[in-house]
Amino acid sequence: MASKTNESTVATGHAVSRRTGLTASIVDVGYRTKDVLTYSSAYLVFIAMIEVLTVHAVLSLPVNPAPVVVGLVTFSVYAGDRIADASSDEPASPERSAFVTRHRTLLSVLTAIAYGVAIAVSITGGPLALAITLLPGAFWILYASDWLPTLGAYFKRLKEVLIVNSAIVAGAWAIAVVGLPMAFADASLTPLAGVLFGYFFLDTFVNTEIPNVRDVDVDEALGVSTMPVVFGIRRTRRILYALDLLLVAFVCLALFSGVLSVTFAVAILAGLAYALALAWFVGRSDAHGRLAIAGEAKHLVVFALILVLSAGI
């Protein structure tokens, strides 16, 4: 009897050990997946595709390859930027820097392939689609490269120039997100498209400044002029409030003038309410990475609300 009891106990112990090992493996895979998605910027691919699908919905455009092309370009540009800045990012984001350094060769190959595929697909949309696809890469070169040697030691890269750095990023992505689906659909420019461009430009500008709070010490040491470096974190938070409120006024004006429908205005305003709540945590939370991701995730909220309101649920 004692022998059977011991065997049962041992069997139970092995079963528990297997379950514990399986749970640990699942958790480990989850953490590794999170690292890949966040450190390689792959999660931004999904966000960018959702932004383009939002443009499709608001402008009533037919389905076309624009979401895929913008997703590929997003991965290529952001992963390329993280590869280029891996060393300087180490003090502020040591884990991301280590990940990018460890997988530098693979990421470099993937970025080249991604942009190559994006260009190949964009050719099917005509010259304008191709030009818009090339634009983010061209802007990134202007943004991150030492192409202004004649201006002396004051700054070498547009990435180091206050306002200009974030405006370049915002402009490139606003043009891509709004312009590429229109180019593929051969759609004409309308006031509604202009409203969407203004919305994505200011929103991207805000989302670009949020991570700069985390990097303020490193940026200051490197001579990079961001809002947190120049104005301080508290004033930066107030500026982000003001920009989000400006967007609220802009969307309301578009609604009352009849350019934007109630459905889309409500969805966008709900997203901006989310952004205003999020801005409160800027400089008050140490979870800088999560805060930056949460800012980008606002577009998931907007798109989900558009689907729900359009379906009349």
Torsion angle, CA of 102/108/110/113, rounded to 10 degrees? -170
What domains lie within the chain, and their CATH numbers? 41-54+62-152 (no CATH), 189-313 (1.20.120)
Closest by alpha carbon to 167, among 243, 69, 234?
A: 243
Torsion of CA 297, 300, 305, 311, to 10 degrees: -170
Would you place residue 25 in the very low, low, confident or very high pLDDT band (cuts 50, 70, 90)? low
Split at pLDDT 50, 70, 90, the class of 89 is low
Token pair, residue 248, equals 């609220």
Report the distance separating Cα 286 and Cα 62, nearest Å: 43
Task: Tell me: pLDDT of 17 over 80.
Answer: no
Residue predicted with more confidence, 145 or 284: 284
The more confident residue out of 161 and 133 is 133
- Each residue of 37-57: pLDDT tens digit? 666 678 889 999 999 999 999
Residue 95: band (very low, low, confident or very high) from pLDDT cuts 50, 70, 90: confident
Instruction: Give the other-Cβ count within 10 Å of 57's Cβ.
Output: 17
Each residue's pLDDT tens digit, 165-211: 788 889 999 999 999 999 999 999 999 999 999 999 999 999 888 88
pLDDT for res 69: 97
Select from 141, 140, 120 the least CA-distant residue to 130.
Answer: 120
pLDDT confidence of residue 247 = 94
CA distances from 281 to 24, 213, 264, 295 (A): 32, 11, 27, 11
For residue 34, the model assigns a pLDDT of 61
Question: Is pLDDT above 50 for 153?
Answer: no
**Average pLDDT of the chain?**
82
| Contact indicator for 52, 66 with CB cutoff of 8 Å | yes
Residue 46 φ then ψ, to 5° = -65, -45
Q: Pick 3 or 87 by higher pLDDT.
A: 87
Among 17-31, 97-111, 193-207, the least confident range: 17-31
C-alpha R_g of the chain: 23
Identify which has the larger pLDDT, 169 or 20. Answer: 169
pLDDT at 6 over 70: no
Q: How far apart are CA 136 and CA 127, in angstroms?
A: 16
**pLDDT for residue 155 is more than 50:** no
- Does pLDDT of 9 surpass 80? no
Mean pLDDT of 260-267: 94
Tokens describing residue 169 = 């990023």
Range of lowest pLDDT (74-88, 93-107, 148-162, 214-228): 148-162
Q: What is the pLDDT of residue 41?
A: 75
Please report, as a single letter, which amino acid is at residue 157. Answer: R
Mean pLDDT value across residues 237-266: 94
